[in-house]
Amino acid sequence: MVEVGIVGGTGYTGMELLRLLAGHPGVRVAEITSRGEAGTRIDALFPALRNQFDLEFSEPDVQRLSRWDVIFFATPNGTAMRMAPALLEAGCRVIDLGADFRLRDAAQWAEWYGMEHACPELLAEAAYGLTEVNRSEVAGARLVANPGCYPTAVGLGLLPLLEEGAVAAETVVADCKSGVSGAGRGAQVATLFAEVNESFKGYGASGHRHQPEIEQTIRTLWPDAPAVVFVPHLVPMSRGMLATLHVRLADPSIDLQRLYAARYRDEPFVDVLPPGSHPETRWVRGTNLCHIGIHRPAGDAGRAVIFSAIDNLTKGAAGQAIQNLNRMVGLDERAGLEAPPTLP
């Protein structure tokens, strides 16, 4: 049985980690921490998890956390990088659901996140946990940077094209929408019900923190990749994410359906839908699945539109973290992640 600790378990991703790990056959949650909720039982803060865990939140303490096999960080950016070195030194494996280890360049990280990196020497070591791309690196890693939700949806949507070298040297457009839970659980006026209900808006068009992560992912597979125009939008729903990707093809005769089906045939969490399908976020709600739909716009044989739908809290965060955990410790990659979506 793999024993894990969770640092910062009071947000939406922490709650999603708990929900999924409650049904994991090979993992025991041994400790969960929160400075603000120390002494509070999990089921007092999250009544939906009654009878699942007999644990209280505790103050985060590196020495105590170092007893466990794997530590998840579901914390604000800047927290994991201050605790991870000591935990790694103690022999723990670390999975950071935040952004502390996603970017390889410490100066770039500081530019986007507004603080100096506390352990830049670990950036090159951290395995980027987009499992479908870096499966072997994740399996041997002691430190995994769990990808952001937008980079996950965009990366999986573009992966077969990039690996095949099938994208022309022209701007790639990533038009993405996310549910409100992507903004976190903290109270903010901009995400109050009355502010988002019956409304729809873009944000971060002049610069979003996931932009350099998306570009890094793409350029790992295609060093000479063109610019990416990434525009996120806020949708008045609790959870879910849809990326609509517009690309120009290097070879208009390519069979995209066959290409995607072949690339993802053996991937347990990526489902290439039948031709003509338009994925919906509700089809993947609460799951670690990514649904992909492929289209060729009429009248423009050289252009493709790829839809990529995930749950931002699951495949975009907690589910992918557990998928990476499974790889790191040698468990079945699907363990704890096979429940179907909830409908309606």
CATH architecture of 150-311: 2-Layer Sandwich (3.30)
Q: Is the peptide bond before 344 cis (omega within 30 degrees of 0)?
A: yes
Share of residues in the chain with pLDDT > 90 (%): 90
CA distance 269 to 153: 12
Angle made by CA atoms 18, 20, 25, in degrees to the nearest 5: 110
**Residue 185, pLDDT above cutoff 90:** no
pLDDT for the residue 273: 98
pLDDT for the residue 169: 80
Which pLDDT band, with edges at 50, 70 and 90, does 28 fall under?
Answer: very high
Start-to-end CA distance of the chain, whole Å, equals 35
pLDDT for the residue 226: 80
Angle made by CA atoms 122, 126, 130, in degrees to the nearest 5: 160
Nearest of 156, 127, 146 to residue 319 by alpha carbon: 146
DSSP track, 102-162? T-S-HHHHHHHHSS--S-GGGTTTSEE--HHHHHHHHHT-SEEEPPPHHHHHHHHHHHHHH
- Condensed to tens digits (0 to 9), the pLDDT of residues 4-18 reads 999 999 999 999 999
Nearest of 280, 258, 325, 330 to residue 68 by alpha carbon: 325
- Condensed to tens digits (0 to 9), the pLDDT of residues 64-97 reads 999 999 999 999 999 999 999 999 999 999 999 9
Q: Which stretches does DSSP call E strand in 199-261?
A: 201-202, 228-234, 241-248
**Residue 55, pLDDT above cutoff 90:** yes
Half-sphere exposure of 60 (CA within 13 A, CB side): 22
pLDDT for the residue 156: 98
- The residues assigned a catalytic role are 149
pLDDT for the residue 142: 98
| Fold of the domain built from segment(s) 2-147+315-329 | Rossmann fold (3.40.50)
CA distance 312 to 284: 10
**Residue 299, pLDDT above cutoff 90:** no
Rg of the Cα atoms in the chain: 20
CB-CB neighbours of 124 under 10 Å: 10
Q: Amino acid identity, residue 148?
A: G
Whole-model pTM: value is 0.96
Provide the β-strand partners of residue 93.
70
Segment 129-143 shows an average pLDDT of: 97
For the chain, the average pLDDT equals 96
Query: In this predicted model, which residue has the larger pLDDT, 290 or 183?
Result: 290
Cα dist. 251→162, 218, 256, 275, 313 in Å?
13, 19, 11, 19, 36
Which pLDDT band, with edges at 50, 70 and 90, does 235 fall under?
Answer: very high
- Condensed to tens digits (0 to 9), the pLDDT of residues 317-334 reads 999 999 999 999 999 999
Nearest of 340, 269, 252 to residue 303 by alpha carbon: 252
pLDDT for the residue 138: 98
CA distance 260 to 192: 39
Segment 228-233 shows an average pLDDT of: 96
**Residue 224, pLDDT above cutoff 90:** no
Q: Which residues are within 8 A (CB) of 311 and not within 5 positions of it... i.e. 6 or more apart?
A: 239, 240, 241, 281, 284, 285, 286, 287, 288, 289, 319
Angle made by CA atoms 13, 17, 21, in degrees to the nearest 5: 170
**Domain extent listing, the chain:** 2-147+315-329, 150-311
328 near 144, Cβ under 8 Å?
yes
Taking each helix axis from N to C end, the angle separating 210-221 and 131-139, rounded to the nearest 10 degrees, works out to 80
